[in-house]
Amino acid sequence: MQCAWAATRTKGTYLRGKYDSLVVRRGKKKALIAVGHKILIAAYFILKDKTAYKELGYEYLQNLKKDKQIDRYIKKLTELGAKVELKKEAA
């Protein structure tokens, strides 16, 4: 839990983003437990697969939410009979 507490205090990391998204719904203590669980899962797979840790970044969760929300709205619009055409924007 000490590692989870320290991870939530770092800026611009995936674990901080996960904590921030959970603390609103679950509270500080449960969010901290969830972040600790994420660290344990990551440590298990790092040791099992012998790979390096890849930091996803703070924006990873926000971008994931946006993509899911866009897909959900497109599906809803097509169910209502609207014709939806996606345009790829240059990054």
CA distance 14 to 67: 17
The residue behind tokens 């390096």 is: 52
* Total-model pTM: 0.67
CB 53 within 8 A of CB 46: yes
Q: Which residues contact 78 (CB under 8 A, 6 or more apart)?
A: 84
DSSP, residue by residue, 18-51: HHHHHHHHH-HHHHHHHHHHHHHHHHHHHHHHT-
Look at residue 12 and tell me whether its pLDDT is greater than 80. Answer: yes
Predicted confidence at residue 45, as pLDDT, reads 95
| Model confidence pLDDT, tens digit, residues 42-82 | 999 999 999 998 888 888 777 777 888 888 888 898 888 88
